[in-house]
Amino acid sequence: MKGQLSADDLLRKLPPQVEAGEVYEVHSLETPVQFAAGTLESIKSVETAGRALRVIQQGRLGFATTSDLADDTLLLQSALGAAEFGGPAPFSFPDQQPPAAVQCFDAAVEQLSESEMIALGKEAIATIQAAYPNVQVFCDIHKVITDIRIRNTSGLAVESRRTHLSVEVAAQRTQEGDILFLGDEISSRQRKDVDIGPLTAYIVERLGQVERPARATPGAMPIVFHRNALAALFLPLMFGLNGRYVLQGASPLGDKLGQPACAPGFELIDDPRLDFAPSAAPYDDEGVPTCRKALIQGGVVQQFLYDLRTAGQAGTQSTGNGFKGGLFGGGWSTSPDIVPGTWIVPPGEKSLEQILTAFDEVLLVEDILGLGQGNTMAGEFSNNVALGFLVRRGEIVGRVKNTMIAGNVYALLRDNLIAVADQPQQVYGWLQIPAIALDGVSVAC
């Protein structure tokens, strides 16, 4: 019988052989504004509504989704059919618990008009081209309003409204034998956090420093990882601290719980409750309240991340990190997976300038190509430098080209950590990390 049911009605419609069920509902309105080579290229609004159903039947998990909210019968049949061949479900859906206190909604983002978004893009483009008229400037501005509701047969009934605003600005300069693409982004759930001034100032400053070429000395040398290059260090840790890979025996940190794995001064925190952070949420996509947790403290591994299913397999509790789409996206129609909240490294005592000045010669790496290359699971990275500078005694000598850096994150953080800077920076929306100086990184030119 056709006709949309409420989530509670759908759960009541589950047949007796179903031991437990969960309904996840999402409604989102996304407005992207895109400029290409200084010209407004696209503006449109995209509305999405969907429903996902998970059932546990005879100890097995079934999962189905639909964007046709007028026909819940097919959704139910699909989930029940999937359960016949689904994997084991060694967990129970959570009951009602107080959600974490975290701010995720800003009316100023919701009220931001398309004309105001266009004006932001034009301002960014004008600022950069006023200093460098011959570069092409690209700008993407995204506004998203999302409503999420979760109901299950354990009595859970939660809902949340969330805003998200991001601005990405990039400048491309093409010369004979060299194509430079220099950019950065900022995102937040709060309008006032998204300030294009620092973005454009950074790009203008760096455009003035890329003309002078420099060449690093091949071999092992100190590297300061800054801005987007920090992802090369923390992507392997994302796998290493993932409870699923710990269970599989694939994580190099799997046998390090309660033991030193990094330098004594290194700390790493997972915090999905950081107000207005891009990943801030009062509960995960399984209805488990989120929480702040120390993953590495004093260099010692304290905890791994779990969703409901993996926690059940490990005989532990979910850490509230079961989110749809995974770290790199995939949307509401995917099953929940283990995803970090905001990862935080507490700031050190020295500024970036003080750290750079301490070296006779150091490579400042700000962006890389080929994120995830190398044996990431083992902690290895091997990346071409997209934007890097040779620095001598605190002074930028010039931009390095045709340069590659490589190393093992676990060995470097354990034995070669020099310093952590005093100013955190947002990287890809999920890292709040200061610049990190490591010695003994392999450099090839």
At residue 2, the pLDDT reads 44
Is residue 128 within 8 Å of 200, Cβ to Cβ?
yes
Note if the pTM is more than 0.85: yes
Share of the chain above pLDDT 90, in %: 90
Distance, CA of 238 to CA of 137 (rounded, Å): 33
**Structure tokens given for 346:** 């507490």
User: Would you call 168 helix, strand, or coil by DSSP?
Assistant: strand
Contacts of 366 (CB under 8 A, 6+ apart): 206, 226, 227, 228, 229, 387, 388, 389
- Residue 3: pLDDT band by 50, 70, 90 thresholds? very low
Distance, CA of 323 to CA of 307 (rounded, Å): 8
Poorest-confidence range of 39-48, 59-68, 98-107, 169-178? 169-178
Q: How far is CA 311 from CA 295, 318, 339, 406, 418, in A?
A: 16, 5, 13, 34, 35
Give the mean pLDDT of the chain: 94
Distance, CA of 372 to CA of 237 (rounded, Å): 12
Distance, CA of 377 to CA of 129 (rounded, Å): 42
Distance, CA of 240 to CA of 252 (rounded, Å): 6
Q: How far is CA 127 from CA 113, 133, 196, 201, 379, in A?
A: 21, 10, 10, 8, 40
Is residue 52 within 8 Å of 23, Cβ to Cβ?
yes
Residue 56 has pLDDT above 80, yes or no: yes
**Structure tokens given for 388:** 């890097």
Is residue 149 within 8 Å of 158, Cβ to Cβ?
yes
Please give the average per-residue pLDDT across 175-191, as a whole number.
89
Distance, CA of 40 to CA of 44 (rounded, Å): 12
Distance, CA of 441 to CA of 120 (rounded, Å): 39
| CA-based radius of gyration for the chain | 24
Q: How many residues does the chain have?
A: 445
Is residue 146 within 8 Å of 161, Cβ to Cβ?
yes
Q: Which of 154, 113, 117 minimizes the C-alpha distance to 42? A: 117
Q: At what angle do helices 196-207 and 114-131 cross, to 10 degrees?
A: 20
Please give the average per-residue pLDDT across 308-323, as a whole number.
97
Residue showing tokens 């129970």: 92
Share of the chain above pLDDT 70, in %: 98
Residue 62 has pLDDT above 60, yes or no: yes
At residue 50, the pLDDT reads 94
Residue ranges covered by each domain of the chain: 7-203, 211-445
At residue 177, the pLDDT reads 72
Say how many C-beta atoms besides its own lie within 10 A of residue 32's C-beta. Answer: 16
pLDDT digits (tens, 9 = 90+) for 364-422: 999 999 887 778 999 999 999 999 999 999 999 999 999 999 999 999 999 999 999 99
Distance, CA of 198 to CA of 335 (rounded, Å): 37
- Residue 14: pLDDT band by 50, 70, 90 thresholds? very high
Task: Phi first, then psi: give them for residue 416, nearest 5 degrees.
Answer: -130, 20
Find the angle CA(320)-CA(323)-CA(325) to the nearest 5 degrees. 165
pLDDT digits (tens, 9 = 90+) for 235-257: 999 999 999 999 999 999 999 99
At residue 1, the pLDDT reads 37
Please give the average per-residue pLDDT across 90-109, as a whole number.
95
Distance, CA of 95 to CA of 92 (rounded, Å): 9
Q: CATH number of the domain at 7-203, out of 3.30.300.30, 3.30.499.10, 3.40.50.2300, 3.30.2290.10?
A: 3.30.2290.10
Q: Which of 256, 237, 107, 124 minimizes the C-alpha distance to 186? A: 124
Distance, CA of 299 to CA of 268 (rounded, Å): 9
**Residue 96 DSSP symbol:** -
Between 150 and 174, residue with greater pLDDT: 150
Contacts of 358 (CB under 8 A, 6+ apart): 419
At residue 438, the pLDDT reads 98
**Structure tokens given for 327:** 């770290």
Distance, CA of 13 to CA of 7 (rounded, Å): 10
Is residue 302 within 8 Å of 319, Cβ to Cβ?
no
**Residue 336 DSSP symbol:** P
Distance, CA of 293 to CA of 243 (rounded, Å): 14
Please give the average per-residue pLDDT across 418-443, as a whole number.
96
Q: How far is CA 208 from CA 178, 182, 203, 204, 279, in A?
A: 16, 12, 9, 7, 34
